[in-house]
Structure 1
Amino acid sequence: MRSTCPDTAARIASARPLPHIPPMLKLTPILLAVLYALAMYRFSAWRTARELDARSSELADARLKRLTDRMAEALDLPRIRVHIYEIAPVNGLAAPDGRIFLTRGFYDRYRAGEVTAEELASVIAHEMGHVALGHARRRMIDFSGQNALRTALAMVLGRFLPGIGVVVANTLASVLAARLSRQDEYEADAYAAALLTKAGIGTGPQKSLFDKLDRLTAGRGGVMPAWLMSHPKTAERVRAIEELEARWAAVTVE
């Protein structure tokens, strides 16, 4: 009986076809990432709504109501409801269900005279822009998707870049998230500028508030590079509004 030499056996073994991998198995990681993103979205929406319900109440302020009534009239709405979210940081929030929130910290700055009613109205207009443009819901979906992307990238890059793959994946996901967030902010600023102008309040309070935000938020905007910031820099936001005003003026003249 003839024996096969080792070299020949190796060539025969290497020539054997690879086992067939069903297409569904190839797509399994992608499907799992999509399902994970959907589950995260549902959970985040539920958790956010529960937190806001437990720690907020409707705002009752006569001076602010006069301004929100003017904006409601400009939008042909019966009224604009605003809620106070009982946390200290200075911020505004548009919830996925369409509700508008001001934090207690922001409202306290208004009550202390550091922020005018018109400036606070510009925050409400900005958050209404997020709702009208679908940002609130999209942000939560994006956040869930980015978590799934972050996990998938970490798994893939971890094979090729042991030790730093996870760091690279987190950085890439953070850059993407920041860019999407900045674009949303510009769009909401433009919406607010148009609404404030139509309501007769004007963009002056919007721009003056931007100049105060760095101080009100303890200068956090200047700590990290622009490409990692979730909000555009103050000067860029003001410039974008002034460019809008210039275009509107040009159209009026024509």
Structure 2
Amino acid sequence: MLKFTPILLAVLYGLAMYRFSVWRTARELDSKSTELADPHLKTLMDRMADALDLARIKVHIYEVDPVNGLAAPDGRIFITRGFFNKYRAGEVTAEEMSSVIAHELGHVALGHSRRRMIDFSSQNAMRAALMMVIGRFVPFVGPFIANGLMTLLAARLSRQDEYEADAYASALLVKAGIGTSPQKSLFTKLEKLTGARGAKQAAWLMSHPKTAERIAAIEANEAKWLKP
């Protein structure tokens, strides 16, 4: 039983850290966000709400500069002020912004935040186990190898979540009569909008899939949906 104690402690530590992170994130979002109020976006959000048979879709603006959208663990949807400013400046269309909201709704509907809690805890346990096993054969570099392997796994899981949220968003946008063109056009702008250099990073180390692969996946879904 004692030999499993480090793994158990790792799981408990991971769970405790996740709970603390959720609490800290909620406090941060509460103190730095206001409800989104834009007439054009509201029209598109109402169309998506109708498609989902919801009374309304509520979105908040998170007062930070980086360009991003996020789904909080409590199910709330946020667009950063930096992203909203790009929209106000005409660099992003209302339809493209609605595709971001649809994507984040996908993360909520598919339970990705809850799943990440389990993933985070289990990854800590696996990391501890790998450190013990690999450390017996490679004493000093074992922790680095274990961390590297878990980084690869975490990136793969994150990419899978992104593909799933993209597919959900595509289906919602089609049902709402908005279509997937804004979703695909936004992807081609993201690197410039965010200042990212993801294209130079190995695909398996990225937490988000490459742009071309995301667009190809959307088009593959459309081809399946349009089959007679």
TM range (shorter): over 0.9
In the other structure, the counterpart of 2:164 is 187
Q: Give the superposed CA RMSD.
A: 1.5
- The secondary structure found in structure 1 opposite 2:56 is coil
In the other structure, the counterpart of 1:12 is none
- Report how far residue 155 of structure 1 moved: 4.5
Distance 2:214 2:222 in 1: 13
In the other structure, the counterpart of 1:80 is 57
Higher relative contact order (CA 8 A, sep 6+): 2
Distance 2:188 2:122 in 1: 33
- Report how far residue 148 of structure 1 moved: 4.2
Amino acid at match of 1:63: H
The worse-fitting range, judged by mean Cα deviation, of 69-78 and 166-175 is 166-175
Query: Can you list the C-alpha shifts for 1:51-83, whole angstroms capped at 9, x where unaligned?
Result: 111211111111101000000000000000001
In the other structure, the counterpart of 2:181 is 204
- The secondary structure found in structure 1 opposite 2:226 is helix
Asked whether the equivalents of residues 11 and 124 of structure 2 are also in contact (C-alpha less than 8 Å), the reply is: no
- Report how far residue 152 of structure 1 moved: 4.2
Instruction: Work out the percentage of aligned pairs sharing the same amino acid.
Output: 75
Matches within 5 A, 1:148-159: 148-159=125-136
Asked whether the equivalents of residues 122 and 206 of structure 1 are also in contact (C-alpha less than 8 Å), the reply is: yes
**Does structure 1 residue 165 correspond to structure 2 residue 112?**
no
Runs of 5+ consecutive residues of structure 2 not aligned to the other structure: none
- Report how far residue 193 of structure 1 moved: 0.2
How many residues are aligned here?
A: 228
Distance 1:129 1:39 in 2: 26
- The secondary structure found in structure 1 opposite 2:70 is strand
Matches within 5 A, 1:41-120: 41-120=18-97
**Does structure 1 residue 248 correspond to structure 2 residue 220?**
no
TM-score, L = length of structure 2: 0.95
In the other structure, the counterpart of 2:211 is 234
**Does structure 1 residue 30 correspond to structure 2 residue 7?**
yes
The worse-fitting range, judged by mean Cα deviation, of 43-52 and 147-156 is 147-156
Query: Can you list the C-alpha shifts for 1:190-226, whole angstroms capped at 9, x where unaligned?
Result: 0000000000000000000011011112132213100
Query: Can you list the C-alpha shifts for 1:113-157, whole angstroms capped at 9, x where unaligned?
Result: 000000000000000000000012222442343344334433543
Asked whether the equivalents of residues 60 and 77 of structure 2 are also in contact (C-alpha less than 8 Å), the reply is: yes
Higher-Rg structure is 1
The worse-fitting range, judged by mean Cα deviation, of 214-223 and 181-190 is 214-223
Extract structure 1 runs of 4+ deviating beyond 4 A: none
